[in-house]
Each structure stands twice: as structure tokens, then as C-alpha cells.
Amino acid sequence: MNATPTPRGHAVVIGASLGGLLAARALSESFERLTLIERDELPAAPDHRRGTPQDHHTHGLLARGRHALDQLFPGFTEELVAASAPLADLQADMHWYFDGRPLAPTRSGLVGVAASRPLIEYVVRSRVAAIPGVTFIDRCPGLDLTTSPDRSAVMGVRLLGGGEGAGERVIEADLVIDASGRGSHSPVRLEQWGYGRPREDRVHIGCTYMTQMYRREPHHLDGRIGTVCSSYPGQPRGGIILAQEHDRFIVTLAGVLGEEAPSDRAGMIAYAETYAAPEFAEIIRTAKPLGEPVQMRYPASVRRRYEDMAAFPEGFLVVADALCSFNPLYGQGITVAALEAVLLTDLLAESRDDLWRRFFRGAAELVDTPWALVLGGDLRHPQVEGARTAQSQNFAEYMTRYWSAAHHDALLGTALLRVTNLLDEPASLLAPDLVDRVTANC
């Protein structure tokens, strides 16, 4: 991050989930006052809320995202650990099944922290709330954006009345950020203002999560913190087991292409027995369930191409899931939101000029790799629609051999996890020494 500018002016962030909180952290270095506006009542402790239905489900935090969060909030990882979230080596202390075969385990040096989504959000929210000049307006039932008469700039937010502290009033702002998630109204608003909608890329995956929390005992999974089992052509079922704070496991049985796990215990066990990873059935059969299973459907990854727009109102940006929402099985959303926040901090430290163009261009570069990983993985299913080039087919075929070889060669597994954790580019897997190891091991 660059040198800190003198803070001036007021910025408003719509949505106080992780995307909005991280954007607020970025703005806090250059704006004197910040207002976060949230539809939900924000809980005073780690808890679920209506506006983030995904918070009942497994949230893996990629290594790159954890690093970015530590950069934005020094001591973030330690705070999660102090709240009893387990810290572990991602390859030695977890099992990874790709194409039905486990990666060879080894100490990779890749460290992950396993925390529930409500805890992650709570810790970030507490840090943002402690920044001088930050105000939260929650329980906001509705809002609209105000613009200049010629609609060349967004001037603020009109609160449409309702809860405490959110009467009918206009809040002026030098910058408004839309962090309202994948249901963002920005494309519609831009069309109404005469800018047209951004081009949208969609990858329909038809994913369903069935998630249940369990009591974690020391003997479970021989002390490991979790297992990831990917779906692959011919096997639309996959899932995640991940330790959580307070001696719990969260278990998600995921299906793609319309495949859905049942919610009754016997059905879940039978479903999990079809997995290559025996851990899923083992935990569901032997661990004590806590609460009821919760289902969530995720139809498609959506990327909005604001960087391609010819014109855009000044004083306005769109971030995080509102900009790009990824198939959750890749665990990328928080990491990309954090990387966008680091980008925004740096851009604002340089200048506020032409911010939308510079931000959307930089964010598009950040999103390219995680989006390519989603495309590469999802397009392996022949039923998923999308452009398959000869190059992407060759890479997919190479990766099939790679995963098979990584079953024997732990170093290949580490290189792969570095890519899926967004630390290295996918092209790094084509380094000559790795290609040789793939050839030697499959």
C-alpha cells in the first residue's frame, strides 16, 4: 500500500457485509467520514443474518485472502485464533480429493485459518467500527441514489425511511460504493440514467449446498481440520468439511448441475457414502449434530464487465460480489473482495481522478485469474455451457493428468494448492520441472 493521503470528504458504502466492510477499510485512509448503510440489523456478536444467507455455509478463506486481511487489519489471523478458530497447514492437516483421488499430504507451509463466516464478518466489522469517522446505519429498509441533474455524477444516497437512525433523508457523499452483493441494482440504475447496462458473463453451474454443523471431537479425522472433495465429470457431488471455532465441524454436501443432497440424516449418510472421501459419511454418522441442516442454491457465477463501459458516473463504484460473484465451491469471494480493497486503497492514495476507470480496470485484472479457475473447473462438466478453446481443452487435459500425478507427488499438490489459493498463476503449473513430474507420475 502507498503513503497515506490526508483524509477529506465523506464516502457512503451500501451493504455492510464483507465486501462493504473491506471497501470501507480501503476508504478510511482517504475519507474523513464514512457511512455504511445496511438493510439488516447488524448483530452485536458473531451471528447469522437474513441479508447474508450464505453465512450458514462453509466459508474457506484462501491463503491470499488471509494475507490481504492481515495487511488491511494487522493481527486479523491472531484474532480469529484467539476466538478458537484452528490454524493449520493446508496440505498436511487437510485432505483434498481431486477427481476422486487424494492429494499426497505434506507440510506445505501454506497456513489456513478455519473460522465460521459469522466470526470472520464480526471480526472485520468490529475492526471497521473502531476506525474514527465510521458510522453504521443498519435496519435501512430502502434507498435510492441521488445524482447531479445531468446524471454525470452520483451525489449521495436517499434513505427511504424506516428504522431507527434511518429516517427519510438524503446523505451527501463524495463517493458512493455499491457493495450490495450479487443482487445489486447498479445495472438497472445505470440503464435508467442512460449509461446502459454492463456486459455480463454467466457460467450456469446449478450448485446446491446442504450444510450441517457438528460437534468436533479430538479423534475425528485423526485431528485433521477438514476435507475437500471436488466434483468432476461424471460425479456432480462434492463437498467440504471444515473445523470451526468452538470445537465444531461444518459439513457441506454440495451438488452441481441440479444435483441436491437430502436433508434427513439417513439420506445425508447415503449421499455421503457415494463420495470418494470416506470422511463425509464418517462425520455425519458419528458426530453429534448441532442444529438443523440448511440448504442454499447458487445458480450461476456472474461477472459484470464495468471495465468495458464507455462512460460511468463520477463518484460511484461497484465492488465485491456486486462486481463478480464466483461459484462458492472455489472459496474465492472474500479473497477477491480483500484484494479489491487493497487495490482501492492504493488507487486513492495516488489520486481520486478518473477513479471508476482505474478501479474497474485494476479489479478486472484481479478477477481474471479466479474467474479463469472457475471457468476451467466448471467447463470440465460437458453440460456446462461456455466457450471451449483448443488451448483451454489442452490445459484441462493436462490438469486431469496433473491431479492424478499429485496423488503420488506431494510437491505437485503444493504447487496446485498455491494456485487454488491465488498465490501463484495457473500458468505456473506448466513450469518444465512440474511437467516432468506429471509425466513421471501418471
Ligand X SMILES: Cc1cc2nc3c(=O)[nH]c(=O)nc-3n(C[C@H](O)[C@H](O)[C@H](O)COP(=O)(O)OP(=O)(O)OC[C@H]3O[C@@H](n4cnc5c(N)ncnc54)[C@H](O)[C@@H]3O)c2cc1C
Using CB under 6 A, which of the segments 1-9, 52-60, 74-82, 101-109 binds ligand X? Answer: 52-60
Question: Quick one: 32 or 40, whose CB is closer to ligand X?
Answer: 40
Cell of 329: 465451491
Least distance in angstroms from the C-beta of 118 to ligand X: 11
The H or E element spanning position 284 is helix 279-286
Asked if residue 335 binds ligand X (CB under 6 A), the reply is yes
3-state secondary structure of 74: coil
Least distance in angstroms from the C-beta of 427 to ligand X: 23
Using CB under 6 A, which of the segments 161-169, 218-226, 324-332, 420-428 binds ligand X? Answer: 324-332
Question: Quick one: 36 or 434, whose CB is closer to ligand X?
Answer: 36
Using CB under 6 A, which of the segments 13-21, 160-168, 307-315, 355-363 binds ligand X? Answer: 13-21
Selected binder of ligand X within 32, 40, 70, 89 (CB under 6 A): 40
- Residue 340, Ramachandran bin (φ over 0: left; ψ between -120 and 50: alpha; else beta): alpha
Using CB under 6 A, which of the segments 46-54, 73-81, 107-115, 286-294 binds ligand X? Answer: 46-54
Asked if residue 155 binds ligand X (CB under 6 A), the reply is no
Binding mask 167-206 for ligand X (x = CB under 6 A): ------------xxx-------------------------
Selected binder of ligand X within 209, 249, 306, 356 (CB under 6 A): 209
Q: How far apart are CA 197 and CA 237, in angstroms?
A: 35
Q: How far apart are CA 20 and CA 341, in angstroms?
A: 9
On whether the CB atoms of residues 215 and 265 are closer than 8 A, the answer is no
Query: Closest by alpha carbon to 88, among 77, 98, 79, 97?
Result: 77
Q: Which amino acid is at 115?
A: A
Using CB under 6 A, which of the segments 122-130, 272-280, 326-334, 359-367 binds ligand X? Answer: 326-334
Question: Quick one: 22 or 384, whose CB is closer to ligand X?
Answer: 22
Asked if residue 17 binds ligand X (CB under 6 A), the reply is yes
Selected binder of ligand X within 187, 328, 370, 413 (CB under 6 A): 328
Binding mask 269-298 for ligand X (x = CB under 6 A): ---------------------------x-x
3-state secondary structure of 203: strand
With the C-alpha atoms ordered 158, 333, 231, 211, is the resulting torsion angle positive or negative? negative
Question: Quick one: 35 or 108, whose CB is closer to ligand X?
Answer: 35
Least distance in angstroms from the C-beta of 426 to ligand X: 18
Least distance in angstroms from the C-beta of 195 to ligand X: 20
Bridge partners (DSSP) listed for residue 211: 252, 294
Q: How far is CA 256 from CA 41, 209, 240, 284, 395, in A?
A: 32, 9, 14, 21, 22
Q: How far apart are CA 426 and CA 135, in angstroms?
A: 41
Buried b (16+ CB within 10 A) or exposed e, 123-141: bbbebbeeeeebebbbebe
Query: Closest by alpha carbon to 402, among 106, 96, 99, 107?
Result: 99
Question: Quick one: 182 or 401, whose CB is closer to ligand X?
Answer: 182
Selected binder of ligand X within 19, 112, 198, 313 (CB under 6 A): 19
Q: How far apart are CA 328 and CA 321, in angstroms?
A: 11
Selected binder of ligand X within 119, 322, 355, 416 (CB under 6 A): 322
CB neighbour list of residue 414: distance below 8 Å, 6 or more residues apart: 91, 106, 108, 109, 110
Least distance in angstroms from the C-beta of 184 to ligand X: 8
Q: Would strands 33-37 and 10-14 be described as parallel, antiparallel, or unpaired? A: parallel
- Residue-by-residue DSSP string for 315-349: TEEE-GGGTEE--GGG--HHHHHHHHHHHHHHHHH
Q: Would strands 199-215 and 316-318 be described as parallel, antiparallel, or unpaired? A: unpaired
Selected binder of ligand X within 46, 60, 118, 238 (CB under 6 A): 60
Question: Quick one: 5 or 43, whose CB is closer to ligand X?
Answer: 43
Least distance in angstroms from the C-beta of 143 to ligand X: 5
**Residues interacting with ligand X, by CB under 6 A?**
14-20, 37-40, 51-52, 54, 57-60, 140, 143, 179-181, 209, 296, 298, 320-322, 328, 331-335, 337
